[in-house]
Amino acid sequence: MSAFEIRLFHNDASIVHIGEGLLARSLPREEWTHEAHLAACTWIVRNRPDIDIKRELPGIISGYNESVGGVNDDTQGYHETITQVYIAGVKAHLAEVGHEMSLHDAVNSLLLSPRGQRDLPLRFYSKELLFSVPARRGFVPADRASLSEI
């Protein structure tokens, strides 16, 4: 069980606000939560087929971080391996639930599932590898379990 309370979404508009705010780099920094990361990723996968999420999300998040005064370096900001793990989780979740349910129901069911938990990457990676500079700067293969199990 997570020490954090999961903040669910009440409507699709709140998720679109996050996704569009991320892309426009106008989302207030305090709104960029774990839940917002997964909501934006889900929205992009479902509603923005023009965005190659695996290739473009790194630049989107890094640029957003810098726009709100953040730093992307060896110890903070954008983390490539964690991002790619959650992209895989979002895609696997959407493959299971389909695209018929509302966006906020899809995101909420993801957040309440094992794939939406904050510790998801640690099911596949040791702390030492996941929080290493190479894992932050680039994607590294999992050392605990295959990501095909996501």
Query: What's the confidence (pLDDT) of residue 1?
Result: 44
pLDDT band at residue 112 under the 50/70/90 scheme: very high
Q: What is the C-alpha separation between 138 and 148, in angstroms, rounded?
A: 19
The answer to whether residue 97 scores a pLDDT higher than 80 is yes
Per-residue tokens: 49: 């087929």
Report if pTM > 0.85. yes
Q: Is residue 46 within 8 Å of 40, Cβ to Cβ? A: no
Residue with tokens 């906020």: 104
Q: What are the sequence ranges of the domains in the chain?
A: 12-149
User: Which stretches does DSSP call E strand in 41-111?
Assistant: none
Q: What is the C-alpha separation between 118 and 115, in angstroms, rounded?
A: 9
pLDDT digits (tens, 9 = 90+) for 37-75: 999 999 999 999 999 999 999 999 999 999 999 999 999
